[in-house]
Structure formats: C-alpha cells, structure tokens
Amino acid sequence: MSPELHGTSSAPDADATARGVYEELRAADGGILDAGALQRRGFSGKLGEAVANDVEGRLQILVGLGLRAELGTEALRRAGAAAARAAASCLTLVIDLTGIDLEGVSPLAVAQATGEGALLASYRFERFRSEEEGPGLAQIALTGLDGAALAEGARRANAVARAVELCRDLVNTPAGSLTPRDFAATAGEVAAAAGLGIEVLEEEGIAGERLGGLAGVAAGSEAPARFVKLHYEPEGAPPFTVALVGKGITFDSGGLSLKPANSMMTMKTDMSGAAAVLGAMSACAALGVGVRVTGYLPITENMPGGAATKPGDVLTIRNGKTIEVLNTDAEGRLVLADALSLAVEDGADAIVDLATLTGACVVALGMEIAGVIGNDDRLISKVRAAAAAAGEALWPLPLPPAYRRHIDSEVADMKNIGTAGQAGALVAALLLEEFVGDVPWVHLDIAGPARSEEDDGYRRKGGTGFGVRTLITLLEGYEPLGGVVQGRAEGIEVLR
C-alpha cells in the first residue's frame, strides 16, 4: 500500500518537510541556502538528489529540481519520489510547493504530478512477508499553492496511484495465488467498486464464443481459463467506444516449447497488459473520463500438460482465421487475436492493446522503453502524446507489409512465429494486425518496462504498473477517429 495524499493551504506539523532546490542551488521558495555546506555534502540540486537534516527531531529535506528551464511534470514526479524516499522512515511528510510556478502548467497539474511521484515511490508489496519492513509513510501533504488546486491535484494523484498500485499488486502476486479464476474474481471486485460492468466467460463460454486462440493456449493447464470483458459508460457519453486489450498470461512456462528455468523466474508477470487495462479502467469514474471504454482480458496459464497444444497444431481464431502454432511459447499473440477480433466486432472506434509480448522488443529498446506499433498515424500520435504527458517512455517501430511473408504458413492462414533472429517484435505485431481489420489500432509491447530489476525514482523493483498512466491520459483527452484507418504507419518507405 502507498500513503494517503492530501492538499492543504496551511502546512501541518509533520515528521518531515521537503522543499525544492534548483540546480543553481537556489531554493524554489526563495529561501536562503548555505551553498558551501550543501556542496560539501555532495548536493548540487540536480534532479532527484535529496539531502536531509534533523532539526529538533524533525527532518528538513531539500530535493533537487534540476535546471529551472527544464522543470516539467515528469521532473516534478521524480522530485516527489525523491522527497518520499528521503522521508521513508517517517510517518508523515509535507511537500512544500511554494515558488513552483511553471509556464503552461497549472497549479493543479503541479500538485498532481508531485503527488503521483511521491505515492508511487512509497509503494510496498508486503502480502507475503511474515513481518513488515517498518511503518513507512502513512500521510503526505502538499502545500504552498492555491488550496483548491492542491486538493484536486491530490485527489487525482490518489486515483492514479491507486490504479497503478492495483496493477503492481497483480503483477507482483505469485502465479500460484493468481490463477485465471483468481484474476477474474479480482476483476469482479474492482468492477463493483469502480462502477464498471463486467462479463466473465468460463470454459464453456470460451468454447461457445469460438475463442480458439485462448482455448488452445489454455489446453495444457489444469487451471481453467477466463475471458473478462469490462464496460465503462459514463452518463452522456458520446456514441463511440475505445477498446483496451490486455494480455493476461498468469504464468508462462512456454508450454511444450518449454522455457529454460531461468527464463521462467519472472513469468508471473506475463499478465502485465491485462493488469494495466484493469488498473486504468478502475480509475475512469474517479477521474471523470467522458468516453465509453471496453476492456478485453484473455486470461490463462501456458503450461505443458498432456492436453497441451503441440507444435504444428492449427488453431482457429474468433474471426475465422487460422494460425499454425510452431512455437507454443509465442502464445500471447494467440490470445490477443481472439480479443482483438471481439473488439472489432463490437464496433470500437479505436483499439489499444498492451502485452509483454516479445523478448525482441527488450533487445531493441531495453527495460525502460516500450515499443509502439500501429496501423494509424493519428492514433499512434495520440498514444505517444499521452505517454509523454504521463512520463512513460515509448518508441515507434515500423509495421512493414513486406515482412508479412515471415508468417506465411504451409498449412494455415499464418504461423505464429517468423524467421528466427529477425524482427521478432515487428512480426508479432503483423500477426496481430490480421485481427483488427480497418479499425485504428495501436500495439504496445511492454515486455521491458512492465518489470523493473531495481528501485529507481518512482519505479519500484518488481511490477511497475507501466501503461496505466498512459491509458488514463489517453482516455481523458480522447477525440474520436471515426473507426476507420486513415494512413497506415509503415515507418519504412524502401521496403516493397
């Protein structure tokens, strides 16, 4: 759990107080600093630095804001995180925002960004510990700006942080404690609390709806699959729907194409896409999202049981297309194919899917940047802008039609893997494109940033909740595209 955040026009007594300092060692609030003493302690005001002094039993923390000219909402998130980390042993913290006045950024946005960083950095996952690490921060107060802006900024930061926390909790939970049945039950609890509609398909329903990709991946597991469909429809919503699709493999052994042991160690996180969709939708009502949203969550394990799909088997997806499965460890694209098909049938204006889909994307972009691929430049631009505002790193990858030959099959419409060692992330996306028709669609390959191997800023080791804030930001400002692709984003002109 993370602390509770609130905004107040007058600073309450607290165990710790934090204020900002620019890289030139100028206090944001105009106060006097002992520059020599700070430099001797190695503090220069660079973004994310923090130095604390104990004054009569209370911590006084200075937090680096970096260069004044470069200060923005993402820097404020990182500064809020630094303040919370410096006060981690305290119960209460006040963050003084006096003097933080950014051109083009409202006081509300200043408060929200700072609060998000502080809350996300304070997150802990202690469900399976016999003893807690310590009391930790329980209350964080923002002060130093207009009272109404502080209160609303804090309210919004709480809503966003709780959504990310939900995603992180799901991703961090061991697969033995988060079976597809457990995930669906959690989704039901979240839906009830957040005012969402929910439909859950069990085994018979999955078969009845012809979800052949999901059923094929689930065949080797003793834990039955689930397909969860979530609905958010605010009063007075315009007549279009944004579809969010999340890969929900609660444990990926690789199936009969078994992974090496070391590669399985973090495979409880292979449902990060589904967790991000559930997290984002849990905050829609609290944040006043004004568009209809439908979430599609195909949830299953991928296991090597006696009934498992075998290399060479052919699966029929919901839209009737067939896939030859040559590697059962390329399973995410199979379950997503069914979900994308349903989103198209339901008449989505646009589709965004999130999936820990390919190791190839990690090779290309590392552990902190997600790949973004799509069939419509307008939607790609919207998603990239939302990610930039949310502070989540994306990089565009091409969708070259010439590479479609990589998934040509001898016996089916396509095969589920391409040419070994070549363009794995792009080929996976080309397969997904087969199931979106002419609906604007963006695919986020979050295989890298869905998990962190270390604490860094407001990211915590383990599940990061990547994608939740991008989706929320996208939905809050979404304008319809008309439901038809305009301008395929091929990315590379020389391929024919």
| Contact between residue 197 and residue 230 where contact means Cβ atoms under 8 Å apart | yes
Q: Which residue carries 């398909």 as its tokens? A: 201
Residue 366: both structure tokens together: 């590392």
Q: Can you give the three-state secondary structure of 352-381, one letter per residue?
A: EEEECCCHHHHHHHCCCCEEEEECCHHHHH
Cα 361–Cα 367–Cα 372 angle in degrees, nearest 5: 45
Catalytic site includes residue 129? no
Beta strands in 387-468 (DSSP E): 394-396, 414-415, 441-445, 451-452, 462-463
The two structure tokens encoding residue 299: 């949830």
Q: What is the distance between the alpha carbons of residues 409 and 127, in angstroms, rounded to a whole number?
A: 46
Is 333 catalytic? The answer is yes
Q: What is the largest CA-CA distance in the chain?
A: 77
Cβ count within 10 A of residue 314: 16
How far is residue 196's CA from residue 9's CA, in Å, rounded to a whole number?
34
The SS3 call for residue 268 is: helix
For residue 180, give both structure tokens.
Answer: 């597809």
- 314 pairs with which residues across the strands? 324
Q: Which of 243, 135, 230, 159 is nearest to 188 (CA)?
A: 230
Catalytic residue among 26, 210, 259, 378: 259
Catalytic residue among 85, 229, 321, 333: 333
Catalytic residues: 259, 333
